[in-house]
Amino acid sequence: MLLQGFSSIVSFIFLGLLILSVYALVNAALQREDAYRAADKQTKPFWLVILGVTVAVQLLIPWLLLVLAGAIATIVYLVDVRPALQSVSGGGRGGRSSSSDGPYGPYNGGR
């Protein structure tokens, strides 16, 4: 009975990692090729292959060690590469401007 409950928890974790990996793969596919070079990261085909293999392994051969390796690759993409691509592309939370920037630059309180 305990193993059955543990098995369902692991299945939910694997499903969550699969969804995260599919999101990373789609995000990597939608980014521009030149943004990868401008952000000084690996190339777009490199990340598409790594993330594609990750999704394929999670769907076809869900071995724990391979799933963990794919999860690490997905996390590296989402935490390191994706923010760098967004900053180069001008996307993200406001790009280069902060919340105190006005239409002609930063507002410094009348100084």
Question: How many residues does the structure list for the chain?
Answer: 111
Q: In this structure, are strands 105-106 and 101-102 parallel, antiparallel, or unpaired? A: antiparallel
- The residue assigned the tokens 């699969």 is 18
Q: What tens digit of pLDDT does each residue of 32-63 get? A: 999 999 999 999 999 999 999 999 999 999 89
Separation of first and last alpha carbons in the chain: 69
Is-above-0.85 flag for pTM?
no
Per-residue pLDDT, 102: 59
Give CB contacts under 8 A, 24+ apart, made by 58-66.
Answer: 58/14, 58/17, 58/18, 58/21, 59/18, 62/14
Spans of all domains in the chain: 12-88
